[in-house]
Amino acid sequence: MSDAAARARNIKLVIFDVDGVLTDGRLIMGDDGLEYKAFNTQDGLGMKLLKASGVDMAIITGRTSNVVTKRAESTGIGHFYQGVEDKLEAFHDLLAQTGLQPEQCAFMGDDVVDLPPMRRCGLALTVPEAHHLVKEHAHFVATRPAGRGAVREACEFIMQAQGTYDAQMAQYLR
């Protein structure tokens, strides 16, 4: 078993950044002043399957957006931080709220602002387009692009390491 898989076995909470992880990182601004984001349905199902397998989820993001709130609600995200300047502070607050230890948490980020919690959690996940320093500190780098399956790949990796993947897939194979 790889080091990343061994780490994944202990994960009880996965924390996601939004822009560049749950999305492809582009910010689309309309003439109406609204911000638009595109999310991947396969990523969404992966998150729901992970939640169904017993792993909780959170979002810690630097931006604030109503569409992110709606996405969090639709995917069963239990803990949600928007407009965060210090992601490590939010990470510590999340630990205090949940009673979890850092090694029981995974963090999936893509840029240097994500490094403080990534370096302290039990499993650091990232996307192929991530900043080189983020990839150097990640235990797992997805092969699918950000906003186009990377989150699904990370969710399935954790479920496989925890032995819950087959049970989650069985419902679709009957």
Whole-prediction pTM value? 0.95
Predicted confidence at residue 174, as pLDDT, reads: 86
Rounded Cα distance, 3 and 37, in Å:
34
**Quick one: pLDDT at residue 128?**
98
**pLDDT tens-place values along the chain, 174 residues long:** 689 999 999 999 999 999 999 999 998 888 998 888 999 999 999 999 999 999 999 999 999 988 899 999 999 898 999 999 999 999 999 999 999 999 999 999 999 999 999 999 999 999 999 999 999 999 999 999 999 999 999 999 999 999 999 999 999 998
Binding residues for substrate: 19
pLDDT of residue 1: 66
Position 116 scores a pLDDT of 98
Tokens at residue 32, please?
């109406």
Alpha helices in 99-171 (DSSP H): 115-120, 132-137, 150-162, 165-170
The predicted pLDDT at position 81 comes to 96
Domains and CATH numbers, the chain: 3-170 (3.40.50.1000)
* DSSP state letters, 32-80: TS-EE----HHHHHHHHHHHHTT-EEEEE-SS--HHHHHHHHHHT--EE
The whole-number pLDDT of residue 133 equals 98
What residues are designated binding site for Mg(2+)?
Answer: 17, 110
d(C-alpha 156, C-alpha 74), whole Å? 19
Q: How far is CA 120 from the centre of its chain?
A: 15
Cite the annotated binding site by residue number: 17, 19, 110
State how far the Cα of 124 lies from the Cα of 120, in Å rounded to an integer.
9
